[in-house]
Each structure stands twice: as structure tokens, then as C-alpha cells.
Amino acid sequence: MGKVIVVTSGKGGVGKTTSSAALGAALARNGEKVVVVDFDVGLRNLDLVMGAERRVVYDLVNVIQGEAKLTQALIRDKRLETLYLLPASQTRDKDNLTAEGVEKVIGALKQAFDWVICDSPAGIERGATLAMRHADVAIVVTNPEVSSVRDSDRIIGLLDSKTLKAESGERMEKHLLLTRYDPLRAERGDMLKVDDVLEILSIPLLGIVPESMDVLRASNVGSPVTLADERSAPAVAYFEAARRLRGEALPVAVPGEKRGFFGKFFGRKAA
Amino acid sequence: MNLLRLFSRSQSAPAARERLQVLLAHERASVGDSDLVTKLRDEILRAISKHMQVDDEKVSVRMERGAKVSTLAVDIEIPFDAGKKAA
């Protein structure tokens, strides 16, 4: 039985899709079977970031409405044979997602894949709540910036109340992925520091992805950043985050901090 | 000129951090179940404003939130003529 992960944030533009694609590819590179599901119905972009935009025939809504089989809608990545994409619909809207339909699709994907990564749309409405509904683990993508942190706090509240896990009285496993981190600005005191964000949100840290041109460059050519240039700083950060997702206790290095990061172990700020 | 500005400018991240801490404590309390620290803050401010005019600029409320212990620091500047309002 595979693990279902939701990549969510509340705020748009913080790097949910980039992170979904990068983590999906990082996990799949080890031979594990991974599917990345785009829940942003109406504004799909995961296909573009993964370079599969011209191969989309059927989508999530088609499958939910019974117009296509799941196997027809799944697109296999051209670079990694264990990486798949389930695209969102571009022409319809979020009302086409039904709770029962999503449950069925996620249930079927869990049987066939080791990891089911749900790329949530921005916002806190239907699309976002359905994307998180069946998750076993949540990755909260946050930028070190006030509006993103506030929205993440809101999303954490939803994860603790509106998911199946929360409703059945279980604890939802949540991880913070800090993206677009600029060590120079943090050093100058003009960007929230890692510890500030951790203290405010009090969920364990999965990784810190530095602000980098490599992310834009990878999306330009339609490749997850972990496949485009695996030695680039953001790729390294995503590979490490993927290892932590697998349960490895790997310390998180804060970009720009030369020493003292050995103390920053994954999970040290567990809520 | 620009360089001078760069050096004289104070850091903005601490302000971001404090604003967020206060705001989120408040929002968490209004969305979820009531929060003791937020309640305390509100009641302390209310109690003080009974006896003197509280100038928003002269009040600083800081919260540190931890898994086990949270702290609330309220700093209020009391002017000489503070008692006048109460009279």
C-alpha cells in the first residue's frame, strides 16, 4: 500500500508544483513507483513543469466521471520509467471533483504506487480540501515571508481538522518545506529566518530549498529540477528532503550557515 | 547615498516575526478553540484600558510559542498624566 502525500500551502506561487515534481522525480529515481497527481483543475501546470504537456489525452476529471480508465489517463515520464503523472483538466472547473470520485482514484493509485503525491491548488476551497482529504502525510510549502507563513498556518489548521486522518482522531503527519530561501537576505535581517518560521508554525522541517535560477531554468525546459541538474543547490535540497520522507534522520543544513547545523535534526521541533 | 541608506536601514525580519506571532495567536484562537495566551492578552489590555487611555503605539505585546511553554510579554508605556482618564 502506497503512501499518500499532499503538497499544499494556501498561498499561490510558493512552489507547490515545482516541489511536487522535484520530490516525485527524486523518489522515483530510486526505483520506487511514484505518481504525481495535479489537483489544480482548471489551471493545470504540473504537466508543463514535468514536460508532458503535449502528451495529455485524458485527465483526473475524465477518470472521476468515468469517461476514461485510470490507466488511460496516467502518463509515464520519458526520463524515469517509475514516475507517472495524472494531469488535471484544463477546460473544466473544480466542481467536477467529487469526494467519492477522488476517494476512488486515490484508493486505486495507492494499490499500484509506492508514493501518491497530490499537488494541491492554492486557496482553501474545494480543490485544496479534496487534495488533502486522503493524505497520510502533508508537506506544507512555505516562503519566508509574512503572507505565506500566515496562509500556511491556516492550512495546518485545515490539515488538523478536515482530513480523514484528523476526523478519525489520528494525528496528521505534517512537514515544513521552506522554499525560495535567500541566505543573504536572511543574514541581512530582511527575511524571516528558518528558526523564526519553525517557531511560528511549529511543525518539523523537511528541507530548505534556496532561491535559485536553476528552478526557473528547469521549468523552462519542462524538467523537474531534480532531473534537470541534480547537482544544483535546489536539486540537492529536494533529494535530501526525499530521503527524509523515506524516514532517514538526515540533518537539515541551513543555507549560508557554515557551522552549527548538525544540531538541526529533522523532527527536532515536532509539534 | 544608496550605501548610506543600506546601512542606516533597520532590519525588517524581526518586525515580520513579531507581527506574525501576535496575528496568528489571534487567528488560531478565533478559528479553533480558544487560546489561553490570547485570552490573557485581551483581558490584560482591557483591564488596563479601564484605568488609562492605552495608546496603541505605546503598547507592545510579544508572544513566544513553544511546544511545552509559551510566554507572553506585555510592555505598556504609562505617561505621567495616565490617571486623568480614569477620573
Taking only the tens place, the pLDDT of each residue in A122-133 is 999 999 999 999
Q: Give the Cα separation of A99 and A164 in Å (integer).
A: 11
CA dihedral A145, A146, A152, A153 (to 10 degrees): 140
Taking only the tens place, the pLDDT of each residue in A178-229 is 999 999 999 889 999 999 999 999 999 999 999 999 999 999 999 999 999 9
Q: Give the Cα separation of A78 and A53 in Å (integer).
A: 12
Is residue A265 in some structural domain? no
How many Cβ pairs within 8 Å bridge chains A and B? 51
**What's the half-sphere exposure (Cβ side, CA atoms, 13 Å) at A128?**
21
Q: How far is B32 from chain A (nearest CA, A)?
A: 8
Q: Which of A161, A192, A269 sits opposite B13 (nearest CB)?
A: A192
Is residue A264 in some structural domain? no
Q: Which of B17, B24, B67 sits opposite A153 (nearest CB)?
A: B24
- ipTM value: 0.72
| Domain of residue A156, residue span | 3-246
User: Cα–Cα–Cα angle for A4, A237, A231, nearest 5°?
Assistant: 120
Poorest-pLDDT segment among A120-124, A138-142, B46-50, B81-85: B81-85
Is residue A158 in some structural domain? yes
Residue A49, marked binder: no
Flag if A200 and B24 touch (Cβ within 8 Å).
yes
Flag if B23 and A200 touch (Cβ within 8 Å).
no
Chain B nearest-CA residue for A193: B13
Q: How far is A196 from chain B (nearest CA, A)?
A: 7
Q: Give the Cα separation of A217 and A222 in Å (integer).
A: 9
**Domains of chain B: which residue ranges?**
18-77
Is residue A70 in some structural domain? yes
Is B18-77 assigned to CATH 3.40.50.1000?
no
Find the CATH number of the domain harbouring A47: 3.40.50.300
Domain count, chain A: 1
User: Which of these, A126, A135, A47, lies nearest to A93 by C-alpha position?
Assistant: A126
pTM equals 0.80
Q: Give the Cα separation of A223 and A169 in Å (integer).
A: 39
Chain A nearest-CA residue for B25: A200
Residue A12, marked binder: yes
**What's the half-sphere exposure (Cβ side, CA atoms, 13 Å) at A263?**
5
User: Which of these, A146, A148, A112, lies nearest to A8 by C-alpha position?
Assistant: A148
Chain A nearest-CA residue for B27: A154
